[in-house]
Structure 1
Amino acid sequence: DQEWKADEESRSKSTLSYIFKEAEWILDRSVQAVKHNWKEKDRFDKIKDEIGVSLKEFSERNSKSMILKLLLVFAAILFFVRSLSMYFQQIIFKQIEEKVIMFIRNDFYGALLKKPLEFFHSHKLGEIISRAVNDVKMIRGMTLNSATNLLRNLLLVTVYVIMMVTVSVRMSFMTLFVVIPISVTVSLISSALKRRSRKVQQKFADITSIIQETIMNIRIVLSFAMGNYEKARFLKENRKFYKKSVHMVRASQLVTPFTEFMSIMITLVIIWYGGLLVLNPNNAMSAGKFSLFLVALLASLHPIKEIARVYSQINKGLAAAERVFEIIDEPVLLVDKGDAKSIDVFSDSIVFENMSFKYPSSDIVLRDINLTIKKGEAVAFVGPSGGGKSTMMDLLLRFYDPTSGSIKIDNVDMRDYKMDDIRNLMGMVTQEVILFDDTVTHNISYGRQDASKEDIVQAAEAANAHEFILELEDGYDTIIGERGVKLSGGQKQRIAIARAILKNPQILIFDEATSSLDGESEYQVQEAIYRLMKDRTTLIIAHRLSTIRNCSKIVVIDKGIIAEQGSHEELIEQDNLYKKLYSIQFRDFSENDNN
């Protein structure tokens, strides 16, 4: 509990730092204005005296009716100026509020980009989106406008309390005796509101996840006729969200009527007690003092109710802030060293040296990997699914660091290099092609934003993509939809290869890039891959062993270890796992041909 409270306090301070950043600017300008006005004090006194003399002369020269008219006009002008000032005050505060929200959302997004892959494996996409959009929006409840309202009303209450204490210490203590339990009750209600608000935000994240999953997998949902099931699942979670929301509304709406009722009760108690004092034969309190005390008390009731309202609003914002700053404040485990080296050219080798790796929530995935890949080699990784092939590529891209041992590039531990430099050396084409809801041009040039139109076209031609791109509605300016849904599997794969060609990486990684394609698409993609592999270091993860026979080295990964390695001919002669896999695939191909 102590750790949670400390963590909660830390997140509250993190949120307030954004507000103080903007409030500091206003305070600085205000101080400068006060200093300037103080320097001009004598001049202002002189102007004030001159205005006083002028007003006296004006009143002597004009009738009372004229003065009344002018006073009314002056009052109207003052109220107009007051309204205008209130407008600009709200504009300034809202602008600062939006800026604070923008800063927090920017930092949230920046924090996401620094998270390891494990984070995205353990958090639902819908939950992350909910925190970035809904929770950040909820933080408005504790931004500068609310803080200013709270401070202003606290100052007003302080002034009225001083007035009451000055009039009667005894009645002030009586008022305090009644107010303390009310304050404790309001605090308990606000704490309950904070807890319920957090639960509501979690449920909102759950229904966001369901919507996101359904849309992303709509083809499967429709093909399996699971629309009614998904609808029922959504209705169930949405009803839970509704119930949590109602519980939160009950708590939030309780604050205002409770403070309203208790304000009346306080007033009645004080009138009763003050009346007894006034009617006391010993004249414990005069009617005049009692009236003055009552006026101060009644004047303090509105700011007290405002404090209760703003406090509950701030608590709702704090619940959202905790969820947001859980992401922002989470330590970044994968970072560059302070003295990290730069690397622009891969010149010698990649060496896995006694390298082992495990995910935080799993057993050892890779154990004692020893492997050397020379520059210019084409190395294939094969083996049963789940053996650790893709994990090796993730480690090479430094999505993770080895648990023990090391991976060296040009005889330097890759942890001593800058991460972005390592990733700039490499280009990756995966089985699941990742494309963006943008133009073909943007998707091809994603790794090289400064590429010219000619460079993009040349890359598309080299990837056998130019012809089908020209057949699209707007050619290279065609929006291809989220994840490239407007393209076929082979077309998406060729766009991905064109992207890799344009980046011109020194090390290429193909992660089962053709395993899901039909024969014709695979031929076109394979041709583009061979063209891209020329004069580069290439690492290929493949299930179709017929596509890797010409690789200079084939590494067989089984159950997290290197079971065997060598050329195709050498592995066939060894008569171990590789030959078994190859024989099975060759038999399957033969049966398919006969059929």
Structure 2
Amino acid sequence: MSVPNTQSTRAYTSLLPIFSFIKPYKWVAALALLALVVTAGLNLSIGQAVKFVIDSGFIAGSKEELTEAISGLILLISLVAVGTFSRFYLISWLGERVSADIRQAVFNQIVHLHPSYFEENRSGELMSRLTTDTTLLQSIVGSVLSMALRSSLVLIGGLVMLLVTNLKLTLIVVACVPVILVPIMIFGKRVRKLAENSQSAIADISTYAGEVIQNIKVVQSYTHEEREKGAFGGEVEKAFSVAKQRIKQRALLIAAVILLTFSAISAMLWVGGMDVLEGRMSGGELGAFVFYAIMVAMSVATIAEVYGELQRAAGATSRLIEILQIKSAIKDAAVPIEMKEGERTAIAFNNVGFNYPSRPDSAALQAINLRIESGKVVALVGPSGAGKTTLFELLQRFYDPQIGEIQRNGENIKSLSLADLRQSMGMVPQQPVLFSSDVWHNIRYGNPDASDEQVIEAAKRAHAHEFIEQLPEGYDSFLGEQGVRLSGGQKQRIAIARAILKDPELLLLDEATSALDAQSEFHVQAALNELMHTRTTLIIAHRLATVTHADMIVVMDKGRIVATGTHHSLLEESPLYQRLCELQFEKAKSGAV
């Protein structure tokens, strides 16, 4: 029995963090507990009312006493109804409130976690924890804990009343309790393990479905509909198989408890019936005893069922608390330094070396030394995997370098407030990210406090106002998931309008025109020129023709800076830059021919 007891203790211990979320609503919890105790007491009083009805009403043959007894019974039942309403409302409110708070706490934690966490954890699993696990906890706090407490009180109170009513019959009932608890311990352990597996299987389903839906055009273009249906069906069946085992174990648990419990009641009824026939107890006492025995039996059965739910909730709680206890690898400065303004050097990389956490043995950057002056346009060029995007990610402190330091306006970026650092930058990625909302929301993401006029002005400067006006509902038009209703060039101009509205000091451009047609490229490039005016700008350049007029071009290869200079000086001094130019310009000439 030691293993089940250990498992039980561990299960209940893992549920303890929930109470920290209940604490702010302790008065609601106290009122709910009071209603629960009063209701349990009233329920137990009904047994004495039953005894009075039988002995003073039916057996005594007195209409007055029967009427009085029935009236008292109705009053007790009415009070039970009022108490049950209060308990149910308060405990359900508490469950919904706590579930909402836990969901908010988990989400708040997720949005501040370092990006490397999301390289190792699937988004579908995180969504499952935010939805399925918190919903399960809502049912636990909102009903299961209430049922467990009520049943425990009724069980204890019922046993006391059984002792008061008849000692001999009570000993029969008590002797059966350990026999009933054995299957609870055995099956409860299995239910908890299967519940954890079931939640993981549901997370797998969510992840798989999310990826297919997000990439539905790719699925359909490769005519993989049937293949994906079969694969998803396999995930569903796997989850169902685990759920089926969990249901089977819970059903066996409940069935075993009911069988043992009511077998004990039947034996008790036979013994009690013999005592009534032989005059050793009254019919009212037997009726009350049967009432209490049934209440005790129902309480034990409820506890058995609740035990399985608590085991299941323990797994959900441990997964949620695991997220809440994660420490972000990117920590804000304890006492942030205010960012300076007007410094000549806007950015400085001092001997920076970096390895991605997911690839610790492969250096992404090595011995990076770079000075970028305020107001200059600097282009980063080089083959794929050279480390250009990594520089952007380090600059925004999505990661911290293992070696060296990065300075912003003369201060180590680790000493600056994360919010201030990132607020001073505006990022326009090659693949713009739009949200499932309207145009207002997507542009205003750059400055949530901006007025409608400021949003429209930003759209005009981004060469986006004209096509937005032609959308079915203009700026109120819903853009679909990830802006699916817009073309690539339109998405890019919305992203540029967002950056214009943010009005950053430092602009980070992952060249936005490489995958656009000529007309879209013209509009986007015009918008970028508007955005770059008077700002310090870093451009990841995939097409060298777009950055030939940059103030400085940084050539990177294999995580190192191999050359810096202007377009003309690099053509003379950098073999790698020469080769890149030859490949691109020759390709452009052959394409033109």
TM over 0.5: same fold? yes
CA shift in 2, pair 1:346/1:323, >3 Å: farther
Task: Give the Cα separation in 2 of the matches to 1:238 and 1:470.
Answer: 44
CA shift in 2, pair 1:530/1:486, >3 Å: same
* Secondary structure of residue in 1 paired with 2:16: helix
Residue 91 (structure 2) pairs with residue 93 (structure 1)? yes
Q: Deviations over 1:12-47 (max 9, x none)?
A: 22223223443444427989xx9xxxxxxxxxxxxx
Partner of 1:18: 21
**Conserved? CA contact 2:116–2:358, under 8 Å:** no
Query: 1:354 corresponds to which letter in structure 2?
Result: N
Q: CA deviation at 1:410?
A: 2.0
Partner of 1:56: none
Task: Give the Cα separation in 2 of the matches to 1:250 and 1:575.
Answer: 71
CA shift in 2, pair 1:517/1:174, >3 Å: same
Map residues 65-214 of structure 1 onto 2, 5 A cutoff: 79-162=77-160, 178-214=176-212
Q: CA deviation at 1:260?
A: 0.8
Query: 1:246 corresponds to which letter in structure 2?
Result: K
Task: Give the Cα separation in 2 of the matches to 1:172 and 1:118.
Answer: 61
Map residues 353-372 of structure 1 onto 2, 5 A cutoff: 353-362=350-359, 363-372=362-371
Q: CA deviation at 1:299?
A: 4.3
Task: Give the Cα separation in 2 of the matches to 1:78 and 1:166.
Answer: 20
Task: Give the Cα separation in 1 of the matches to 2:8 and 2:186.
Answer: 16
* Secondary structure of residue in 2 paired with 1:236: helix
Query: 2:356 corresponds to which letter in structure 1?
Result: Y
Task: Give the Cα separation in 1 of the matches to 2:167 and 2:72.
Answer: 41
Q: Deviations over 1:363-422 (max 9, x none)?
A: 221112111111111111111111211111011111111112111112211111110110
Alignment partner for residue 300 of structure 1, among 296, 299, 311?
A: 296
Task: Give the Cα separation in 2 of the matches to 1:371 and 1:9.
Answer: 55
**Conserved? CA contact 1:197–1:316, under 8 Å:** yes
Query: 1:472 corresponds to which letter in structure 2?
Result: L
Q: CA deviation at 1:272?
A: 8.7
Q: Deviations over 1:465-516 (max 9, x none)?
A: 1111111111111111111111110011011111111111000000132121
**Conserved? CA contact 1:196–1:244, under 8 Å:** yes
* Secondary structure of residue in 2 paired with 1:330: coil
Partner of 2:494: 495
Map residues 379-398 of structure 1 onto 2, 5 A cutoff: 379-398=378-397
Q: CA deviation at 1:142?
A: 2.3
Partner of 1:469: 468
Q: CA deviation at 1:188?
A: 2.2
Q: CA deviation at 1:319?
A: 1.9
CA shift in 2, pair 1:178/1:69, >3 Å: closer
CA shift in 2, pair 1:74/1:156, >3 Å: closer
Query: 2:538 corresponds to which letter in structure 1?
Result: L
**Conserved? CA contact 2:96–2:142, under 8 Å:** no
Q: CA deviation at 1:181?
A: 4.6
Kindly tell me the number of residue pairs found equivalent between the two proteins: 557
**Conserved? CA contact 1:139–1:318, under 8 Å:** no
**Conserved? CA contact 1:142–1:318, under 8 Å:** no
Q: CA deviation at 1:8?
A: 7.0
Q: CA deviation at 1:187?
A: 1.8
**Conserved? CA contact 2:31–2:90, under 8 Å:** no
Residue 405 (structure 2) pairs with residue 406 (structure 1)? yes
Task: Give the Cα separation in 1 of the matches to 2:350 and 2:103.
Answer: 41
Q: Deviations over 1:240-278 (max 9, x none)?
A: 1111111111112222211011113434666799999x9
Query: 1:359 corresponds to which letter in structure 2?
Result: Y
- The sequence identity of aligned pairs, in percent, is 32
Q: Deviations over 1:102-126 (max 9, x none)?
A: 1111111111111111122222222
Q: CA deviation at 1:100?
A: 1.0
Task: Give the Cα separation in 1 of the matches to 2:428 and 2:531.
Answer: 11
Alignment partner for residue 311 of structure 1, among 285, 307, 312?
A: 307
Partner of 1:257: 255
* Secondary structure of residue in 1 paired with 2:17: helix
Partner of 2:542: 543
**Conserved? CA contact 1:480–1:486, under 8 Å:** yes
CA shift in 2, pair 1:305/1:74, >3 Å: closer
**Conserved? CA contact 2:551–2:566, under 8 Å:** yes
**Conserved? CA contact 2:377–2:538, under 8 Å:** yes
CA shift in 2, pair 1:10/1:516, >3 Å: farther
* Secondary structure of residue in 2 paired with 1:143: helix
**Conserved? CA contact 2:347–2:409, under 8 Å:** yes
* Secondary structure of residue in 1 paired with 2:401: coil
Greater mean alpha carbon deviation, residues 383-392 or residues 264-273: 264-273
Partner of 1:282: none
Map residues 404-553 of structure 1 onto 2, 5 A cutoff: 404-553=403-552
CA shift in 2, pair 1:10/1:117, >3 Å: farther
Q: CA deviation at 1:165?
A: 6.2
Partner of 1:48: none
Q: Deviations over 1:328-361 (max 9, x none)?
A: 2222222212212233746332111111111222
Residue 33 (structure 2) pairs with residue 27 (structure 1)? no
Q: Deviations over 1:128-170 (max 9, x none)?
A: 2222111211113421532232222222322344456678989
Task: Give the Cα separation in 2 of the matches to 1:168 and 1:71.
Answer: 22
Greater mean alpha carbon deviation, residues 254-263 or residues 492-501: 254-263
CA shift in 2, pair 1:265/1:9, >3 Å: closer
**Conserved? CA contact 2:340–2:410, under 8 Å:** no
Task: Give the Cα separation in 2 of the matches to 1:294 and 1:478.
Answer: 68
Greater mean alpha carbon deviation, residues 109-118 or residues 158-167: 158-167
Query: 2:15 corresponds to which letter in structure 1?
Result: S
CA shift in 2, pair 1:68/1:200, >3 Å: closer
Task: Give the Cα separation in 1 of the matches to 2:495 and 2:469.
Answer: 17
Residue 328 (structure 2) pairs with residue 329 (structure 1)? no
Task: Give the Cα separation in 1 of the matches to 2:9 and 2:559.
Answer: 41
CA shift in 2, pair 1:9/1:576, >3 Å: farther
Task: Give the Cα separation in 1 of the matches to 2:21 and 2:538.
Answer: 46
Task: Give the Cα separation in 1 of the matches to 2:291 and 2:519.
Answer: 89
TM-score (norm 2): 0.85
Task: Give the Cα separation in 1 of the matches to 2:488 and 2:10.
Answer: 47
**Conserved? CA contact 2:124–2:207, under 8 Å:** yes
Q: Deviations over 1:502-555 (max 9, x none)?
A: 111000000132121112211211111111111100000011011011111111
Partner of 1:61: none
**Conserved? CA contact 2:380–2:538, under 8 Å:** yes
Task: Give the Cα separation in 2 of the matches to 1:8 and 1:66.
Answer: 54
TM-score (norm 1): 0.85
**Conserved? CA contact 1:23–1:144, under 8 Å:** no
- Structure 1 unmatched runs, 5+: 35-63, 279-285
RMSD: 3.4
Partner of 2:336: 340
